[in-house]
Amino acid sequence: MRSDPDGGGERPIAEAAHGQRIGERELIWMMALLMACNAFGIDAILPALDKLAYSLGAEGNDRQFIVGVYLLAAGFGTLIPGSFADRYGRRPVLFAALGCYIVLSLACAAAETFSQMIALRALQGFFAAGIIALPPAIIRDRVGGDRMARMMSLIFVIFLLVPAVAPSIGQGILLAMGDWRWIFVAMAVLGCIMTAWVYFRLPETLHEADRQEINVSIIARNMRSAVTLRSTIGYTLASALVFGALFGFINSSQQLIGEAFGAGEQFPLLFAICAGCMAIANWSNSRIVEHFGARRVSHTALFLFIVVAAMQLWFATRPTETLWTFVPLMAANMSLLGFIGANFGSIAMQPFKHIAGAASSAQSFLRMTTGATLGAAVGYAYDGTARPLAMALLVSAGASLFFVLYSERGALFGPPDPEDEDED
């Protein structure tokens, strides 16, 4: 068993295509915007869901499958790219994922029936999953520990700017072009821009000593260790649950805010406020996490999340709940997620420097499939009120606390355990 006592130390990466070493700031922006392709693929279409549903003959809550099937398929898709990236490198696998994202975005723009759209969205989520799974592995190739948590927080700051503005962009495209299909064309354009940037500026980050064989038993062993190690599995499951409840909000946000609370055309702005609060929280986390530690910060945020979720449930059960009680509390919980997500993810990746691709794939699979399934269930349970969402937030947060306690053996708020196991 290989130990890595200095898991947070920097591992320099190679030079870029034109002989210049890519800097930390550019790497953060690039990884954030790669992940943002996925967010744009989800959130830009939200303002057009009613028109898309009408155009393709979808009824009621069925429109939510446009988002839900993409998330669920992406969860299954994340199982694939990590192992190939551990063998052949990050760049070729990333190019394959971006290519699929571009082609299938254009195919969605040409869909003629709702069934075709659902099938194409499933394929898009599955085959483009590398843009979700590989950025954490690329960052782990370079740094670990609380420094990785800081970099991931900065990535999430930029990444979350896209969900904040994507509905407004989608609405702007809808108003300018008059057809929801142009939103999918915009996704393809974004994919082309990111492909060019990665081609010219991102060096291969996989170290030669860390290349793994394409061997089913080795891949299975690496993935199994990434999702069974006690010190990390609780964090993977906890983040899956809290983000599953968040996916439930995303799935039903247009109906809940735009229709039930009567926000109408204000929906993109209110959605942007909630996502913007999460971005600000991630920036704040990047400033404090190396001082206080990822565990202290995220554990505190989880307890506060439970308190706010309880308040949300109380207001949701009142017949007088309004937009102006719902939005501030939702924004508060999304802010707290900014102190949970990057830290939980970094803690879960810490022991797996030498198999970062497989570990990122396995953990992303567990996180995405659990979160997408929960999110779809919460969204489909939408009954014209915020009650199903509020209940999901509270129950998910309570279960997340249980899983974190399991990983930490009941001791919260402490520094990393020096006796944590490393991978084989």
Please choose, from the candidates 174, 184, 30, the residue with its C-alpha nearest in 3D space to the C-alpha of residue 103.
184
Q: Which two three-digit tokens encode residue 316? A: 């949701």
- Per DSSP, 64 falls in state G
Average pLDDT on 99-104 reads: 96
Q: Does residue 6 register a pLDDT over 60?
A: no
293 Cβ neighbours under 8 A, 6+ residues apart: 146, 415, 416
Asked if 127 and 104 touch (Cβ cutoff 8 Å), the reply is: yes
Q: Which of 125-129, 190-194, 215-219, 232-236 has the lowest mean pLDDT?
A: 215-219
- Interatomic CA distance for residues 240 and 153, integer angstroms: 17
| SS3 (DSSP) at 21 | strand
pLDDT of 294 reads: 87
Using alpha carbons, select from 271, 319, 306 the residue that is nearest to residue 393: 306
Contacts of 193 (CB under 8 A, 6+ apart): none
Q: What is the mean pLDDT of residues 161-180?
A: 85
Question: What does DSSP assign to residue 353?
Answer: G
What is the sign, positive or negative, of the torsion defined by CA atoms of 45, 46, 51, 53? positive
Q: How far apart are CA 251 and CA 138, in angstroms?
A: 29
What is the C-alpha R_g of the chain? 20
Percent of the chain past pLDDT 90, that is, above it, reads: 27
Question: Quick one: DSSP state of residue 67?
Answer: H
Give the integer Cα–Cα distance in Å for 261 and 253.
10
Domains of the chain: 24-407 (1.20.1250.20)
Q: For residue 11, what pLDDT is reported?
A: 54
Q: How far apart are CA 274 and CA 297, in angstroms?
A: 21
User: For all residues of the chain together, what is the average pLDDT?
Assistant: 83
The SS3 call for residue 15 is: strand
Of 148-152, 182-186, 201-205, 337-341, minimum mean pLDDT range? 148-152
Q: Structure tokens of 295?
A: 């565990």
**17, pLDDT greater than 80:** no
90-94, 99-103, 153-157, 235-239 — which is least confidently predicted?
153-157
- Contact (Cβ atoms closer than 8 angstroms) between residue 150 and residue 377: no
What CA–CA distance (Å, rounded) separates 160 from 63? 23
384 burial via Cβ count (<10 Å: 0-12, 13-18, 19+): exposed
Q: Confirm whether pTM is higher than 0.85.
A: no
Local confidence band at 13 (pLDDT 50, 70, 90 cut-offs): low
CB 174 within 8 A of CB 47: yes
